Structure 1
Amino acid sequence: MKILSIQSAVAYGHVGNSAAVFPLQRIGVDVLPVYTVNFSNHTGYGAWKGPLIAPDDVAAVIEGIQERGAFPQIDAVLSGYQGSEGIADVVIDAVARVKAANPAAVYACDPVMGNAKSGCFVAPAIPVLLREKVVPVADIITPNQFELGFLTGTEPDTIESTLASADEARAMGPSTVLVTSVERPDREPGTIEMLVVDDAGAWIVQTPQLPMKANGSGDVTAALFTAHYIESKDAATALARTASSVFDLLDNTLNSGERELQLVASQEAYAHPRMQFAVRQVR
């Protein structure tokens, strides 16, 4: 499997491609990473060094990959945090080019905007671009519950309302919606959920909610789910594998006492998921 991953990169820590590439490689995926920023660290620290990469330069890297004849072998395009407004057009163009070379390829979009606790943390134009231009051309999207609400103009909280919001998102274009950080009022205390909806049905998985904030965990989630979904062609299987791996990554990080994801130390969790959480069909 080959994935063209268009995301940010940091030297210190793990977000964007610096979070997604290694877990994908560890499960046997050949990743072609294209960077949209090249920062010293993620912006959550409040200070960082390094450049945003101009959209024309990002497009030039993708064009160079195409010139090497790689596009017919690419199974998926994956995108995450978009550092500047012009990146959306670059991603959309890359998706069109890859699909022209390989009609079976899919586009997985992680529509990074923010979360329920912090609100939006991207430039004001980015959420609108994602909703109006990027999400409609995606096959898979992986929003958190907050981002799903923005995309659809709804307020998902219960299973029923989250399913309805996911259906509205699917009506925009994507056939598969993975909703992360699902927090419904009637869930068991100390838990958090992920829910996936596709043409075959809907499934939910519940894990303990760990007392931590983990920058980059959503990037790992989107990457692993995309690869598992393509490989297994089964949403429930992809959900179970992803939930298992990401929980163990987060648990290892919490136990380490470190702020940054313990990405390398957790590699066995990607290669051999423990499958410790039951997936339940809800539709």
Structure 2
Amino acid sequence: MECRVLSIQSHVVRGYVGNKSATFPLQVLGFEVDSINSVQFSNHTGYAHWKGQVLTAEELNVLYEGIKLNNVNHYDYILTGYTRDTSFLETVVDIVQELKRLNPKLVYVCDPVMGDQGSMYVPENILPVYRDQVVAVADILTPNQFEAELLTGRTISTEKDALDVMELLHQMGPDTVVLTSTDLTSPHGDQFLVALGSQKMVRTDGSKSTQKIRIEMPKVDAVFVGTGDLFTAMLLAWSHHHPNDLKAACEKTVSVLHHVIKRTITYANEILQVCKPSFISGLGGWSQTIPQVKKLDVEVLSWRGYTWSAVVRLVGRTAKFSKTTEAAYEMAGPGKRPNPAQLELRMVQSKKDIEDPDIVVEATIL
């Protein structure tokens, strides 16, 4: 049976961010994807230069009206990410509500991108729209710790605080909440990131239950772009394939991120083995292992923001140089860090891992 997604996100001509990060992986996993581009840029804003256009709320409504007039506004999922404009976000809410009236089983997956590490990178007036309108119609919500605190007005200092905040978010609307990154201390030390999830579900006998999970991942800082959008898209996909099993959905989602980032780093490593930049300084392997981590070479630290960070562990092998690598080396130059073009996600090259990811992290049921 055909499953169709309406994805309202940013678009770049070169690279992977927003709809470019979400569309191909969803299609690989069997979803039809209709994309509305909230912005169209030449490339992401981490480059030295970028050009493009921003879609207004009125233009969004015009596009949706065209879909509606042709009677093809029937969707199983809606996926949204970064936006800075309150009127645009309010129009998204109107569209979600109308589509839910047409299909009460429609699932809205929302990444409420507002900020991280105590700082907002969107206008402050976007918060009440998310809090009072968006969360109420969302079914799957993927805030980081800071965004969850903003939405609930609560501070997270302990795991219990985080579980309480997720419960409050459930009461506000969504049945599934994933805190994609937190500042919580891992029992395995400060080299590990803690992410948490909670899912309300109805058993076959009609009774209700809640599955709560924790995922711990080793972390080393490196900057990528587009991993947040890939994470949310994969959570949509694997939640569809594993309904009422947040543990399995998150394990596969994180594993896809692992393989895509690992392949991206391996590609960059082909350059770095010759350039020897500071980029690889401190990215040595860990001697510490934990049961929840298997074959973990690369993991996501934070899937958030318009420039996302990720955690990586660099694989020690040197890949054979190719013509593509030689060209990338010429772009980087001796002793320099890889430029943004060289760190674009290796999405197409990861097709098999997106389709059937080898599980590299096991979540713990709380």
Quickly say closer, same or farther: Cα 1:269–1:145, change in 2 above 3 A. Answer: farther
**Aligned-partner SS, 1:51:** strand
Partner of 2:312: none
Conserved? CA contact 1:23–1:270, under 8 Å: yes
Offset at residue 46 of structure 1 (A): 6.2
> Are 2:301 and 1:217 equivalent residues in the alignment?
no
Offset at residue 188 of structure 1 (A): 2.3
2:230, 2:28 → 1: CA distance? 12
2:4, 2:194 → 1: CA distance? 29
Conserved? CA contact 1:8–1:83, under 8 Å: no
Q: RMSD value over aligned CA atoms?
A: 1.8
- Out of 255, 275, 286, the position equivalent to 1:244 is 255
1:172, 1:44 → 2: CA distance? 35
Quickly say closer, same or farther: Cα 1:256–1:116, change in 2 above 3 A. Answer: farther
Quickly say closer, same or farther: Cα 1:147–1:104, change in 2 above 3 A. Answer: same
Partner of 2:266: 255
Partner of 1:71: 73
1:44, 1:132 → 2: CA distance? 32
> Are 2:346 and 1:266 equivalent residues in the alignment?
no
Per-residue CA deviations over 1:19-66 (Å, capped at 9, x if unaligned) read 111111111111111111111122334642111111111111122222
**Aligned-partner SS, 2:10:** strand
Question: What is the letter of the counterpart of residue 162 of structure 1?
Answer: A
Unmatched runs of 5 consecutive residues or more in structure 2: 201-209, 269-341
Partner of 2:306: none
1:66, 1:144 → 2: CA distance? 34
1:187, 1:70 → 2: CA distance? 50
Conserved? CA contact 1:52–1:83, under 8 Å: no
Offset at residue 157 of structure 1 (A): 4.0
Question: What is the letter of the counterpart of residue 185 of structure 2?
Answer: P
Offset at residue 183 of structure 1 (A): 3.4
Partner of 2:310: none
Moved more, 270-279 or 186-195: 186-195
Offset at residue 206 of structure 1 (A): 2.1
Question: What is the letter of the counterpart of residue 265 of structure 1?
Answer: Q
Moved more, 222-231 or 250-259: 250-259
> Are 2:123 and 1:112 equivalent residues in the alignment?
no
**Aligned-partner SS, 2:62:** helix
Conserved? CA contact 1:204–1:279, under 8 Å: yes
Conserved? CA contact 1:179–1:194, under 8 Å: yes
Q: Superposed, which structure 2 residues align to 1:1-283 within 5 Å? A: 1-45=3-47, 47-72=49-74, 74-116=75-117, 119-189=119-189, 190-199=191-200, 200-233=210-243, 234-257=245-268, 258-282=342-366
Conserved? CA contact 1:37–1:83, under 8 Å: no
TM-score, with length taken from structure 2: 0.72
1:208, 1:253 → 2: CA distance? 18
Moved more, 178-187 or 135-144: 178-187
2:156, 2:146 → 1: CA distance? 8
Question: What is the letter of the counterpart of residue 159 of structure 2?
Answer: I
**Aligned-partner SS, 2:52:** coil
Q: Number of aligned residue pairs: give it.
A: 280
